[in-house]
Structure 1
C-alpha cells in the first residue's frame, strides 16, 4: 500500500520554542514533496521505482501500486518511448562511467506530444528522475546573449563594478523584475551589495538580512545545488508516494518542494517567483545571485544552466580578486616575519621579542595590544587586559585541547566567561606555542562601532495568522530598521591568521634552538663535572701518601731529639698533617658522591634516624642535650647516601648548639602528595644572612672557625647528594636564635 512519505513541515509551533533554532533545524532537504510544475520518480540500481510524485500518477493514469515496486520501464510508453526500451538505465550506466556520476542532462522526452526534459541526479542509493517542461517564460534563449553579457560584465577590474555589471547582465538574460548580489557575512547574515530592478520598485541596496532568513541548512543546499528555481509560490506542492518509511533526500533535485516558512517569507515581500545562482569561492558559499519576480515565472533547465555559467564566472572573478588582495596583504606582512626571525636570532632571551618587535606587530596587524604568555609570565606591549584575564585566555587551550588558534571579532559573545572590556578588547587572535601547555601569543583589537540597516526588525520572527494562531515568519514588515552595533572589531583575515601562525612557528623554532643549545651545554658541563670529580678523587688519593710520610718523619724527629723547641715543631707538623689528612678524606668522600650510583629504594627513616641519634648521644659534648625525634615518614632514596645527609645535618645541629646551657635539636617530617619534607631545628648560634648564601659551598664554614671544628665539606656533600635525588635543601636562621634546615624530597608517582 503506497503512503505519503516525508517530513511534515508546518508553521505551527510551541511558544516555548526559539524560532531561530527552529529555522536551523527545519528538514528542508526531505520535504516529502516537489514543486507541481514537474514530475519525479526515484528508482534503485535495478530500475525499480521506490518513490513517485502523486501528480505523475494522475498524469500517467497508471495506479500507484502498479508503478511503485515495479520496473521504471512500465512508464516507457508514457514517456513516448518503445515499450521494451531500456533508455533510463542506459543513461544511468553512461553517467556512471569511470566510477564518477556525470549525467548527460537534460534528456529530451515527450509526454502526450509535449516536450519535457528528463534530469537525472543521485540521492544516496537512489537515482532521481526530475521531469520538467521544455517550455520557458523567457522569450529569447539566453545562450544567444550570455557571451556578450559576460564580456560586458568583465569589462572592469574593480570588483564593485563587476558586481554591478553582473546584475545588469543577468537581468537582461533572465528578465526577472529584481536581480541582486547577496553576500553572506561570517556570522551567516546577508547583505545586498549590488542590484538591478524595475524602476517602479524601491532599492534594497545595502540592506542586511538576519541569518535566520537563509539558515545554515539552506546555505548547505545552495552550495550543493548551485541553482534554485521557485516557479510559483501559490502553486501547492505535489506529494511523494512510496511503500517504505524512509524520507527521500531531495538535495540534488531541481524540483524539491519549498519550505512553508520560505513561501510565507516570499509572499510577505510580494514575490511570486524566485531564482538563485550560488557564488562559491574556495569551496565556501560566498553569496547568491538572487532574482525576484512579482508574477509566476518558469525557466527551463538549459536556461538555468546558462545562468549558472554566469555564477561560475563571477565566482572565479571574486576568487581571483581575493587571491590578489591576499597576496598583497601577505607581501605587506612578510616583513614582520623577517623582523621577528632576526630578533629571535640576535637575542638570547625569547621574551625580548615583545620589546624588539612589539610595536611593529601592532602596526602590521592593526592591533592595539600584543601579549607573549611564556612560562607563566606575561610580556606585553600596547593596551592589554589584566594578567589574570590573560591567563584565563591561555587556559582556553587547555579546555579546548583540539584548538591551536582562537579567533574572535566579538569576545563579549565568544569568551563571555572571561568578561573582557568589549570596547577595548572586542577582537582577539591567539595561537598556542606547544600542545599541552598554556604558552601562547595573543593580539587584541578595539571595537569598531558601526550601524547596520536591516530589512525590518531581525528579532521579530513570530506572527499571528487570521485565526490567531502563531506562526514563524522572518518578518511581515520589511521597513528599514537601523541597529547600532557595539562590541565588535574588524574580523581577522585569513592572511593575518596565516602570518600570525608563522610568527608562532618562528618562536617555537627559536625555543627549540635554545633548548638544543642548553642540552649541548649541559652535556659539556656533565662531562666536565665528571672529569673534575675524577681529578679531585685522584689528587686527594695521591696526597695521602706524602701526608703519611710527613707525619712519620715528624714522629721520627720526636723520637730522635730531646730539644723542647724541636719537639714542639714536630708536634705542630703532626697536627697540621692530621688536619690536612682529614680534609683530604672529606674531599674524597665528596668526590665519591658524584661517582656513586644512586640505588633508590624505600628507606625506613625511623630506624635510620634512631641509629644516628644513638650514635650522637654516646659522643655528645653536653650531657644536657635533648635530641627529639617526632614524625619520620619514609623516603625513596639511596639508604647509604640518605644516612650521610641526615648524619651531617643532625651532627651540625648538635655541634653548633652544644655550648648552650640546654641544647636542643628537633627532627620532624611531614608527607604530602607531591613531596616529603624534613625539618631539623636547633637552638644554637644561628647563621647570618650573608653566611646562609654560602654554607652549601665547598670549604665554607659558619661562625668562628677556631671555636667549632670542621672542614667545610659536609654541607656541600649534603647538597650534592640532595641534587642527585632531585631533592632540595635550604636553611632558615637568625644569629643567636638557632637554625632550621629544610629537606624537601619529591614523592614517587603512586607512592
Structure 2
C-alpha cells in the first residue's frame, strides 16, 4: 500500500482554473491552450480559438481598445516579472485583462472587476496610516487589508523555525473568536505550496464550492500555472477551508530577504471575490509593512551592535593591558551575561570555579562536562540539554539552555552560560496531527485535512528560550577576542627585547633636557663640596646647610631620572586609534583622584561627552594628568570645583577641563609644558613637574591641540581640540 504526502501533489500543474475567470495561453505558434468556458465569452468554439495569434484574441475581446503590442511586449519581457493590465468591457461587464510572460509562454487572464472601484488617492492615506503605526506594522496591515477586501478575518501568520506558524496579528468581525497566538502545524502548508507563495505574492479563491473550469489544448503537465491568478486550488486545501467553516480565502505573501517569512491570511464565511486591483493594493501594502518592520528591527539591531561593540572593545583593551586573564573575564562576566540574556555564568579554569547569577549545582554541571567531553569546538550551544536528575534531588532547578565556550583550547579554560527551564503553554488551532484516509480502490493512503480547529493546549517542558543568532554571534566574537589577546600577548613577549631597545633609544629624545636642567643641581653639589674642602673654619650651621643642599640636589636628580623613563613610555609606543566615549574613564579617574588627594567636598560637573578619535590608554593618561592637577591644586579658601564639557565645532571635537584652583601666572615666555617645569605657586603640593609634559607629548601623539587659560587664585581652563579624522 502506497502513502501519498501533501508535498507530492503537483498543484501548479492542475490544468484547471477557478469559475468566473478566463485563460488563454500562447507559444510562438499561437494559442495553445484555453479555458473551456471561452465559448461563453467569444461565441466561438474551442477549435476556432486555438491557433489564433495574441493580437487576434485581443481584437476579439475588445475592438474599442487600441492594443500597442510593442509596448505590451516591452513590459512583460523585462527582467522583473510585470503584468500588463487593462480594464475592458465585454457585453457591458467590466473585466481586468492581464498579460504576462512565463515559462516561455504568454498568458492572458480575464477576471471580473468588483463594483467598488478603488480610488488611487486612498493609497496615500493607507501608506500614511502604516507610517504612523510603524511600531504596530502587522496589526495596522490587517486593519487596512480588511477594509480593502471586506473579509471576516485578516491575520498575519508568521512561519517559525520548525516550519509551523503562529498568528501574531489580526483584524476580525465582532462575532468571531480571536486566534492571536494560535499555532498551526507545518504540514498545514506543504513545501510546494510555500514555494508557490514565494513566487506569486497574492492569491484569492472566491468560492470554494464553485465548480472549476478545465483548460483545453496542451497536456496539463506541460502547462505551468505557477504565476496564474486564476489557478484552481488543491482539493485538499479546499476541504481544509471547508472544515474551518470558510467559503472564501485570500493571501498575501510576506517576503523578507528573498524568503517566505509569513502570510497575510484572509478568510470569509461567505463567497467573496477579491479582484485584481484589490490584490495588487494588498500586495503593495504588505511589502510597505515589511519595509517598516525591517526598519524597526534594523534600529534595534544597530543599538544592540553598539552595546556589544563597546563591551568587546573594553574587553579587548583590558585583556591586552592586564596580565591576569581570569580576573578580566570575571570583571566582564556580568556584562556578558546581560547581553546574552543568560540567567547565570560560570568561569572554569585551573584555579577554580567562579559563578555568577543562577547556575546548576556542581553535580548537574558535571553532567554537561561529561556529555561534551568529545566536543572540541570553540562554541557549543543548546536550548534543551537533558539532565539525569539524581533521586536525592527533589524539585530541581534545571538549566536546559547551555552555551559552552572553549576559551583557551588545550588548557581546559571554559566559560558557560545558562538559561533556566521555561514551561511553554502553546495554543494550537486544533490538535496538530496529520490524518490519512485509505482509498481501497487504488490501495493508497492519502492526506486528509484536519476537521477540528478548536483550541488545543500543549504544555512543553525541558526547554529554555532559544539562543538568538545575534547572541551566539556575540559569544563567538568573545571567543575570538580572548584568543587573539592571548596570541598577541605571545607576540609581545617574543618582541620584548626589541621594545626594550626602542625604549632605551627613546631616552635620547630627552638628552638636551637632561644636560640642561641637571646643571643646576650638579652645580649646587659642586659648590657645596668646594666650600667644605677649602674652608678650614667652617661652622656647624654652614656645614649642615651645605649637607642639606647636597641631599636636596641628589634627591632632585633621582626623581628626574625616574620620571624620564615614565615620559619615554608615552612617547614611542605604536598605538591604534579608535572612536571612544571617555565618559566611563572620566568617572573612574574622578573617584581615584578624590581618594588619592583626600577631597570629599568636590563640586564635579560632567556635561555631554562626545566620542573622540584616539588610543584608549593615551586618552586615559591624558585625562588622568589634567584631572589630577585640577583636583590636586585646589583652592584652600573656597569649595573645590571641576567641570568637564565638550562640543562639536566643524571638523573637531573640543573638550574643556575647568577648575577654580590656585591658577597660574602665564607670563610671556613661560611654557608650562616643559619637562620638570613647576610654577612658584605650586610649592607645598607634591609633584615633579612632569605631568603637563606628558600631557603635551600625548597631545602631539594624538595629533590634537591644547591651549590653556589661567588666572592666579581664580582657576584654570584647559581646551583640547581632537580632530574627527
Identify the TM-score tier after normalising by the shorter chain. 0.5 to 0.7
Among 154, 165, 168, which residue is 2:143 paired with?
168
Equivalent residue in structure 1 for 2:14, among 31, 39, 43: 31
The offset of 1:337, in angstroms, is 1.5
The equivalent residue for 2:107 is 128
For residues 297-696 of structure 1, what are the structure 2 equivalents within 5 Å?
297-348=272-323, 354-368=329-343, 382-383=359-360, 384=365, 385-394=367-376, 408-410=382-384, 424-428=398-402, 443-462=417-436, 471-514=446-489, 516-517=491-492
Aligned to 2:653: none
Q: Report the counterpart of residue 213 of structure 1 in structure 2.
A: 188
What is the alpha-carbon distance in structure 2 between the residues aligned to residue 87 and residue 423 of structure 1?
A: 74
For structure 2, list consecutive stretches of 5 or more residues without a partner in the other structure.
387-395, 500-725
Would you say 1:252 and 2:227 are equivalent positions? yes
In 1: Cα distance, 2:270 partner to 2:426 partner: 31
Match of 1:632 in 2: none
Deviation at 1:58, TM superposition (A): 6.7
User: What's the TM-score once normalised by structure 1's chain length?
Assistant: 0.55
2:372 match: secondary structure: helix
- Aligned residue in 1 for 2:238: 263
Task: Tell me how far apart the structure 1 counterparts of residues 134 and 75 of structure 2 sit (CA, whole Å).
Answer: 41
CA distance in 2, matches of 1:469, 1:387: 49
From the superposition, tell whether residues 57 and 346 of structure 1 become closer, same or farther in structure 2 (CA, over 3 Å). farther
CA contact (8 A) 2:72 2:84 kept: no
Counterpart of 2:426 in 1: which secondary structure? strand
2:57 is matched with 75
* Matching of residue 107 in structure 1 with residue 86 in structure 2: yes
1: CA distance between counterparts of 2:18 and 2:267? Answer: 17
Query: Deviation at 1:82?
Result: 9.4
Q: How far apart are the structure 2 equivalents of 1:29 and 1:410?
A: 39
Task: Look up the SS of the partner of 2:84 in the other structure.
Answer: coil
Aligned counterparts of 2:106 and 2:476: Cα–Cα separation in 1 = 45
Q: 1: distance between equivalents of 2:18 and 2:405?
A: 49
Query: What is the CA distance between 1:130 and its match in structure 2?
Result: 2.4
Unaligned runs of 5+ in 1: 1-12, 398-404, 413-421, 525-751
Distance 1:295-1:495 versus aligned 2 partners, 3 A rule: same
Instruction: Output one character per residue of 1:129-182: Cα deviation in whole Å (capped at 9) or x when no partner.
Output: 32222x21x6352645454444445544642xx544433333222211222222
1:693 equivalent in structure 2: none
Deviation larger for 54-63 or 270-279: 54-63
Aligned partner of 1:94 in structure 2 is: 75
Q: Partners of 2:317 and 2:206 in 1: how far apart? A: 63
Cα gap change, 1:356/1:32 in structure 2, threshold over 3 Å: closer, same or farther? farther
Question: Helix, strand or coil: the match of 1:106?
Answer: strand
* In 1, Cα distance between equivalents of 2:249 and 2:120: 20
Correspondence list, 1:133-144, <5 A: 133=112, 135-136=113-114, 139-141=116-118, 143=120
How far the C-alpha of 1:296 sits from its partner, in A, is 1.2
Change (3 A) 1:223 1:425: farther
| Aligned counterpart for 2:260 among listed residues 265, 278, 285 | 285
Matched, 1:55 2:32: no
Alignment correspondent of 1:530: none
Structure 2: how far apart are the matches of 1:425 and 1:71?
Answer: 70
Which residue in the other structure is 1:660 paired with?
Answer: none
CA RMSD of aligned residues (A): 4.5
* Number of residue pairs the alignment of both structures matches: 483
1:118 to 97, 100, 104: 97
> Are the counterparts in 2 of residues 460 and 475 from structure 1 also a CA contact under 8 Å?
yes
- SS of 1:504's equivalent in the other structure is helix
2: CA distance, partners of 1:128 / 1:378: 71
Residue 71 and residue 498 in structure 1: after superposition, are their counterparts in 2 closer, same or farther (change >3 A)? same
Partner SS state of residue 60, structure 2: coil
Q: Distance in 2 between matches of 1:197 and 1:61?
A: 43
Aligned 8 A contact 1:278 1:287 in 2: yes
Deviations 1:499-545 (A, max 9, x none): 23332332343244245446658999xxxxxxxxxxxxxxxxxxxxx
Give 1:271 deviation, angstroms.
0.7
SS in 2 for 1:386: helix
Render the CA deviation track for 1:25-62: whole Å, top value 9, x for unaligned. 44333333322332223334x36444443434675465
SS at match of 1:179: strand
| Aligned residues of 1:458 and 1:474 also touching (Cα < 8 A) | no
The DSSP-based 3-state class of the residue aligned with 1:323 is helix
Would you say the 8 A contact 2:145–2:282 is kept in 1? yes
Counterpart among 188, 193, 205 of residue 230 in structure 1 = 205
Answering whether residue 214 of structure 2 is matched by residue 239 of structure 1, we say yes
Residue 607 of structure 2 corresponds to which residue in structure 1?
Answer: none
Structure 1 Cα separation of the partners of residues 407 and 475 of structure 2 = 11
CA distance in 1, matches of 2:260, 2:187: 16
Residues 484 and 96 of structure 1: CA distance in aligned 2, closer, same or farther (over 3 Å)? same
